[in-house]
Amino acid sequence: MAENEPRAYRRLLLQQRAEAERFYSPAEPHLCLRARPAGAVKEPLFINICSWKRVPAPKAPTDPTPVSAGLLEEVSGEGGLYSVIDIAYNPDVLQRGEENPEKREHLIHLTLKFVEEQYNLILSDLYTTESFKLKGSLETMQQRLRGRQMPTLNLSQNTKKELTLDRLLHTMEAEDCRNAPVLLKEESITESKVHLIEEITSTEMPEKLSTPIYKLITVKDANSKPFKIELQIELPKVSSVSECDLRISKDDVIIEVPEKYKLQLELPEFVDEEAATAVFNKGKRVLFITLPVAKPDP
């Protein structure tokens, strides 16, 4: 692709770089709420509403609004015990709320309902907007959001799982993206019979993945010594290389396409994984991987 379509290749690399920057950007504090738990719970509950580029923005105003949730944590502070939860939205979602007080109030209401359903709490309709933007330390908040193993949510009933990040074609370094999206439903707050939040299928119960058809060839030189391995993998359900997660080590290859394929192969020769290259033929929907055989140690 780099030789045949240099402009398209450059656009792809720029797109992947922007996607990687979005994925690794840290969450930032935006607004802190003090909620009032009902019942026997006495300690206050602080909800840190955060801005995080890693959370995708809705593609259209009527689309679901993705939200990422951290763990509920009980903290012992100077004023006694309190609980804290971190909820992250895309910066564009929060910006629209700042520009429109009604949308801001609606988003806060849905956030409170989400916290109630997700963490099995009962909250009062009354809440307080704190003068500070974050309860606790910035580092702790970011760790809670990044370490969250439960799904990330979206605001609708038409839920869609997020694909993994784009992988660079010639740098096969795998990324681990375990958080799946959750949807918050943009409904009128007066429709109490409608569920405001719907969680997608848990990542702990994945569907069985298919093993793709592949062909592995060891290419030898004039002296009948292997010098490279060529691997062709047929991926008829894949339309873009961005769906693929490819990992190469010196003795094996693993490729995963979420909800579609998984293949793990032991290689017949040790290879130089840093010199490996991969090209996805979009027309044939075949992934071509070239693996130079590692030179023996002197």
- Per-residue DSSP letter, 222: T
Over its length of 298 residues, how does the chain's per-residue pLDDT go in tens digits?
556 676 776 776 666 666 655 566 788 999 999 998 876 666 889 999 999 988 888 877 777 888 888 888 888 876 678 899 999 998 999 998 888 888 889 889 889 988 888 888 888 878 899 999 999 888 888 888 876 433 444 444 333 333 333 333 333 333 333 444 465 655 433 443 443 444 333 334 445 688 999 999 999 999 999 999 999 999 999 988 888 889 999 999 999 998 899 999 999 999 998 899 989 898 899 999 999 999 876 6
Q: Where are the alpha helices (DSSP H) in 120-265?
A: 138-146
Query: Rounded to an integer, what distance in angstroms lies between the CA atom of residue 203 and that of residue 206?
Result: 6
Torsional sign, CA 183, 184, 186, 188: positive
Q: Domain residues of the chain, as ranges?
A: 25-205, 214-292
**CATH architecture, range 214-292:** Sandwich (2.60)
